[in-house]
Amino acid sequence: MSGLVTRRSSGSVAGAARFPDVRLRRNRRTPALRDMVRETTLSPRNLIYPLFVTHGRDVRASISSMPGQYQLSLDHLMEEVVETERLGIPAVLLFGIPEHKDHLGTQAYDQHGIIQEAIVAIKETVPDMVVVTDVCLCEFTDHGHCGVLLDDGVVDNDATLELLARTAVSQASAGADIVAPSAMMDGQIAALRAGLDAAGQSDTPIMAYASKFASAFYGPFRVAAESAPRSGDRRAYQMDGANGREALRELEQDVLEGADMLMVKPALAYLDVLAKARERFDLPIAAYNVSGEYAMLKAAGANGWVDEQAAMMEMLTSIKRAGADMIITYFAKDAARLLRGG
Ligand code: PBG
């Protein structure tokens, strides 16, 4: 036993002597050297900032589950979008809290719904900002599910497709640059593409929430968007977190249906899926650094248990290293400020 240990350690020293280039620390000696050999660099241009928009005037309501994030009325939303652009972040992702929710989520596809109004306002004020819209019904239905709920508690796939397509068309007509379906219905990319094309919106790209897992990390978001399901859960349509191969099938299916960009969500607990998606597909890939990932770090940072800024940059860099071209993150403004040197 001790012979084995000795042989191994002396073997590695001998190896180092024979092959001097095994000294990996050489390239890490100074900050300048480390800068030169850094493989992954994060830029504000990689980031997409999610925002929550609500009715009313002068509303800036803190979201208890997500410190530093707010439900914003249109006037304050505009201030945020102007600031987002100033920081060099190219895109925002919009979520809406409607005045009324109903069984079929009609405010999602109302041309005067909160999201549609927000899109028009942003495009008037900051025309170059890329506006991405979430295409889903859960914020707009009184039951909180992502589609049409049948009496037996099942979400009707095909009836939902029609409403998702109407939602995407109304958002694109209002001026959305990218529509991002997140309901996890089968066939939703094909349904959106057909609907958009028929409405003369064939230039609007679809960012597919292609592999979206049923995740406890969405908890803080559901407080923010007031969209938790009243009964049951989303496991009959969102994916089982145990399934990496099935995630690739979901991604592939969305490519076949005509997705222009793919998304993996959540990001941190699914970096293996993101890395495989990067290897397998040549489409631009987004990763969603979700609300629970944000809230965990905010809580630990506020308690002084981790260095929030350093951990934030490490997380975002890891997501990019794993293969994301775009990172949707509530940290977008904080990260952009750091990257720009304050
Ligand atoms: C809508 C939607 C959700 C998120 C994005 N779009 C919630 C859900 O599916 O329950 C979660 C985002 C986050 O947690 O930051 N379906």
Q: What are the sequence ranges of the domains in the chain?
A: 44-339
132: left (phi over 0), alpha (psi -120 to 50) or beta: beta
State how far the Cα of 335 lies from the Cα of 252, in Å rounded to an integer: 32
Compute, in angstroms, the gap from residue 218 CA to the centroid of ligand 1. Answer: 6
Q: Which atom of ligand 1 is nearest to the CA of 212?
A: 9
Q: Is 308 in the pocket of ligand 1 (CB under 6 A)?
A: no
Give the end-to-end CA distance of the chain in Å, rounded to a whole number: 56
**pLDDT tens for each residue of the chain, 342 residues long:** 343 444 444 445 555 566 666 789 999 999 999 999 999 999 999 999 999 999 999 999 999 999 999 999 999 999 999 999 999 999 999 999 999 999 999 999 999 999 999 999 999 999 999 999 999 999 999 999 999 999 999 999 999 999 999 999 999 999 999 999 999 999 999 999 999 999 999 999 999 999 999 999 999 999 999 999 999 999 999 999 999 999 999 999 999 999 999 999 999 999 999 999 999 999 999 999 999 999 999 999 999 999 999 999 999 999 999 999 999 999 999 999 999 986
Annotated catalytic residues are 212, 265
Compute, in angstroms, the gap from residue 153 CA to the centroid of ligand 1. Answer: 20
21: left (phi over 0), alpha (psi -120 to 50) or beta: alpha
Q: Which atom of ligand 1 is nearest to the CA of 183?
A: 16
Compute, in angstroms, the gap from residue 83 CA to the centroid of ligand 1. Answer: 24
- The fold of the 44-339 domain, in CATH, is TIM Barrel (3.20.20)
State how far the Cα of 182 lies from the Cα of 211, in Å rounded to an integer: 9
